[in-house]
Structure 1
């Protein structure tokens, strides 16, 4: 299985270099190249692209703004000459952030992350059937596949280009995006309290101000999420004196 990959970069030489790298990686296949995100919309809307190599500084719309407006979940690796946008790129759940000039070794490392991400998604999809209710999912951590049960998961924390999965027994570091983890967590049980945190509602012990307490952990609630978080947590459960 080859990952269908497209390049969006307004620099012809940059596209040429990435095409040569893709040709040298046996699990990648070039599915198209574009000098603008707007020209790639038709291909992206088909839902067949499995990896996007995206420049940041481009005319009309930047790669960052494009990803903010793009509605689908799509693995993206930013390729740019500007390292200062790395944090914002990872906040958009990028798999990786490559600074030009990009060496083949660094490109290959990013491509392997994409391959691992895709394989885990496929594995987790296979666990779901039309009649069974999914109760867990797999991640790759410490060079092994680890099964994480929803009921054992306390919260998920995004840390730049990886996530930290906190369970009652242990925490696991995995090169995944926050978005990919969020896809597999049932919305009825898990709440996104902050762009970097998703918590298991059943594990929450108390709420004080803009913080949630789960054991010794303090998890922030962002201002933009607070109203929705409180509504999800307290609906039909808040006892009042009549």
Structure 2
């Protein structure tokens, strides 16, 4: 689990982050606070892997917080002021969330943090503990995701195992499930970052497939049920090499 804290001088904003954290299976909320000083103590005590940090706070700014303990944990900045983004990235933050924060944008940021923390553990030199005090325990792979529904604050829970394939069209994607099609406002590239690989692979600029649902591959075409899906030239070699090497099909 990735141990998280939410830090914002406005209690309602910290509560929203805490609620979002509770919805993600590989995140654990260890605290929420309106005091950056209290948050620094939690980080220094080794209780935190990931901090959701407001930038503008009267007691201590988010940038000052980063300078004090940004090397001891990963940080996702939250603010209503986009002009602070560049300065935040100069301090090697994971991501920058602009308020009000949509849940799908929150999900994208935490998946990015998850990947970064996993890589951090995998690259620890031999002879050094692979679990420094601020590193997370191995996080379980989530079995589902949330996608935006047709209204502003509606999100649909979709089990990964139910997804046959995904088709992208500009800023929309269609998720095809047995007997069902879900359409959500999101780019295919963003969605690809949320889907675990394997079993999901991008095989075309417009398609992501679940390799577990493939019934046949014939040349440059993949078959899932009665649907044929083209394998794009850009993705063909890598995809076919994966199939040959892993023997998944």
User: In the aligned structure 2, how far is the partner of 1:41 from the partner of 1:124?
Assistant: 19
Q: Distance in 2 between matches of 1:176 and 1:221?
A: 22
With 215-224 and 127-136 compared, the bigger mean Cα shift is at 127-136
CA deviation vs aligned residue, 1:141-175 (integer Å, no higher than 9, x gap): 23332111111101111110111111113111111
* Structure 1 residues 45 and 167, CA gap change in structure 2 (3 angstroms): same
User: TM-score scaled by structure 2?
Assistant: 0.50
SS for the counterpart of 2:83 is strand
- Partner-residue secondary structure (3-state), 1:49: strand
- 2 CA distance for matches of 1:33 and 1:123? 17
Matched residue of 1:184: which SS?
coil
Q: Is the 8 A contact 2:222 2:231 kept in 1?
A: yes
Contact conserved, 1:156 with 1:197, CA < 8 A, in 2? yes
Deviations 1:12-34 (A, max 9, x none): xxxxxxxxxxxxxxx73232489
Local SS of the residue matching 1:212? strand
- Answer yes or no: is 1:28 the counterpart of 2:28: no
The aligned residue for residue 209 of structure 2 is 199
| Pair 121,237 (structure 1): closer, same or farther in 2 beyond 3 Å | closer
Specify which of 132, 144, 147 is matched with residue 139 of structure 1: 147
C-alpha change, 1:149 and 1:45, in structure 2 (3 Å) is same
Kept in 1, the 8 Å contact 2:144–2:157? The answer is yes
Is the contact between residue 194 and residue 225 of structure 1 (CA under 8 Å) also seen in structure 2? Answer: yes
Secondary structure of the corresponding residue to residue 133 of structure 1: coil
Instruction: Give the CA RMSD over aligned residues.
Output: 3.9
What is the deviation of 1:50?
Answer: 3.3
Shift of 1:210: 1.6
In the superposition, relative to structure 1, how do residues 196 and 129 fare at CA in structure 2: closer, same or farther (>3 Å)? Answer: farther
Describe the shift of the 1:30–1:237 C-alpha distance in structure 2 as closer, same or farther (beyond 3 A): closer
Alpha-carbon contact 1:211-1:221 (below 8 Å) kept: yes
Assess if the C-alpha contact under 8 Å between 2:214 and 2:222 holds in 1.
yes
**TM-aligned CA deviation for residue 226 of structure 1:** 0.7
Equivalent position SS for 1:235? helix
Q: Kindly state the Cα deviation for residue 228 of structure 1 after the two structures are TM-superposed.
A: 0.9
Give the aligned length: 153
Could you tell me whether the CA contact under 8 Å between 1:137 and 1:149 is conserved in 2?
yes
Q: Deviations over 1:110-159 (max 9, x none)?
A: x98x7353244468799998443311111122333211111110111111
Does the Cα contact within 8 Å between 1:43 and 1:49 map onto a contact in 2? Answer: no
Asked if structure 2 preserves the Cα contact closer than 8 Å seen for 1:31 and 1:49, the reply is: no
Aligned to 1:14: none
Q: What runs of 5+ residues in structure 1 fail to find an aligned partner? A: 5-26, 35-39, 52-110
Q: For 1:29 and 1:47, how far apart are their aligned partners in 2?
A: 17
Structure-1 separation of matches of 2:248 and 2:176? 27
Instruction: Describe the superposition over 1:50-72 as per-residue Cα deviations: whole angstroms up to 9, x where unpaired.
Output: 36xxxxxxxxxxxxxxxxxxxxx
